[in-house]
Amino acid sequence: MSAPLIEITALSSAYGQSQVLWDVDLALERGQVMALIGRNGVGKTTLLHAIMGTRPSAGGTIRFDGQEITKLPPHKRSRAGIGFVPQGRHVFPQLTVMENLETGLSALAGRGKGAAKVPQHIFDLFPKLYDIRARAAGFLSGGEQQQLAIGRALAGEPSLLLLDEPTEGIQPNVVQQIEAALVHVRDELGMTVLVVEQYLDFVWRFADRYCAMQNGRIIRHGSIAEESAKDVAHLVQI
Of residues 28, 42, 207, 232, which one binds ligand ATP by CB under 6 A? 42
CA distances to 142, 156, 164 from 88, in Å: 9, 20, 8
Check binding of 15 to ligand ATP (CB under 6 A). Answer: yes
Of residues 38, 53, 104, 143, which one binds ligand ATP by CB under 6 A? 38
Give dist(CA 10, CA 222) in Å, integer: 19
Q: Minimum CB separation from ligand ATP for residue 15, in Å?
A: 3
- Chain centroid offset of residue 149 CA: 10
For ligand ATP, the closer CB: 214 or 228: 214
Query: Rounded to the nearest 5°, which phi and psi values hold at 230?
Result: -65, -35
Q: Minimum CB separation from ligand ATP for residue 47, in Å?
A: 7
Check binding of 143 to ligand ATP (CB under 6 A). Answer: no
Give dist(CA 65, CA 20) in Å, integer: 26
Task: Provide the residue count of the chain.
Answer: 238
- The secondary structure of 131-166 as a DSSP string is HTTTSBGGGS-HHHHHHHHHHHHHHT--SEEEEE-T
Give dist(CA 193, CA 160) in Å, integer: 6
Of residues 5, 6, 8, 20, which one binds ligand ATP by CB under 6 A? 20
Of residues 3, 23, 41, 214, which one binds ligand ATP by CB under 6 A? 41
Of residues 32, 45, 78, 100, which one binds ligand ATP by CB under 6 A? 45
Check binding of 110 to ligand ATP (CB under 6 A). Answer: no
Residue of this chain nearest to ligand ATP (CB atom): 45
Q: Minimum CB separation from ligand ATP for residue 157, in Å?
A: 26
If binding means CB under 6 A, how many residues of this protein chain bind ligand ATP? 11
In terms of phi and psi (left: phi > 0; alpha: psi -120 to 50; beta: otherwise), the region of 130 is alpha
Binding residues vs ligand ATP (CB under 6 A): 15, 18, 20, 38, 40-46
